[in-house]
Structure 1
């Protein structure tokens, strides 16, 4: 995949970075941890400008958030609440839980979007709850852009400094993303177990 990413950037230049980052947000298996360090390496060779690399990476990342954001808007809180009330018992999930989660996102959504854009594994998925909670698009784009710019800067800068060893960035970041996903899975499992215990105690 690294060779394909490099070839696309070599042939399309800055547009290739933008396109790859859009795709990365819609299809997470194409990691930004590979795209941006590769572009940073190209900048270290003098083939690209580092500031433009970060700019195009940020723009592509922000544009890539829009499909899932609009999918969340289209699905909406009310549809999700109705679905949870009808089928959620299998997951110990109710419409009330969905509304609580939506209220939480209304209060903390800006921080979630800002910092979540720098967390591998969940950075793309945050667009869905942002859309479902009807976070205003301008606010969503601003915080997505800030978070994405910081993430793109770190990755491109690492690739710039590491030079030909830019591919090591992905190896450094991969364990972090696995830890984050593991923590989220454990947290979800604990929440479900507590829900079941409280329901059993109440019945």
Structure 2
């Protein structure tokens, strides 16, 4: 499994990484930790370079977050609320969750966009209230890019370090990759099935 995904990443090249990172931030099928970590292994193998990988992966991540920012910025509270009310089960959230995230954004300031890049669960979610608050586009993109660059650099370095132990760790990597995808799918299915509006 690890070798198969690594081959896909190497064949797709930098643009494949950018696409995967974009999709991961819109609807996460494979965590960025796996994508950039395997990219780091590709760097250690010599099939990719550190700086282009960091730049293109961070750009993909930033654009993925920008999608959610634009949803909040363009739709606004009044047009977004009916969508959340109607599709809340499939989004596994309700309007109260959006309001809570918006209050969190307003109370912690715009730097929270940078800080949340290091949170596995909130890094994409914070983009929506940033858009709803009509944060300046340039500032949002700069904070998101900077935070994502720091995070991705760490993931690439971790992948490079892990490559030294790839033969011994490949079984565990397979378990980690398959497990993370299964856990994400099961968690989503469970939330959809058990979801009930608070009202």
Tell whether the structures are fold-level matches, with TM greater than 0.5: yes
Bigger Rg, which one: 1
Alignment of 1:53-202 (within 5 A): 53-79=53-79, 98=99, 102=102, 105-106=105-106, 108-163=108-163, 164=166, 165=169, 168=173
- 1: CA distance, partners of 2:95 / 2:59: 39
Q: Where in structure 2 are there 5+ consecutive unaligned residues?
A: 85-93, 185-197
Q: Where in structure 1 are there 5+ consecutive unaligned residues?
A: 85-90, 179-191, 193-203
In 1, are the aligned partners of 2:81 and 2:95 still within 8 Å (CA)?
A: no
Deviations 1:4-61 (A, max 9, x none): 5423322221111111100110112321010000000000011111121111111110
In 2, are the aligned partners of 1:2 and 1:34 still within 8 Å (CA)?
A: no
What is the SS of the residue equivalent to 1:77? helix
Displacement of 1:74 = 2.5
Pair 1:11-2:23 in alignment: no
- 1: CA distance, partners of 2:4 / 2:109: 35
Q: How many residues align?
A: 171
Over 3 Å counting, the alpha-carbon distance change for 1:10 and 1:82 in structure 2 is closer
Aligned alpha-carbon RMSD (Å): 3.6
In 1, are the aligned partners of 2:101 and 2:126 still within 8 Å (CA)?
A: no
- 2: CA distance, partners of 1:24 / 1:82: 26
Displacement of 1:111 = 2.3
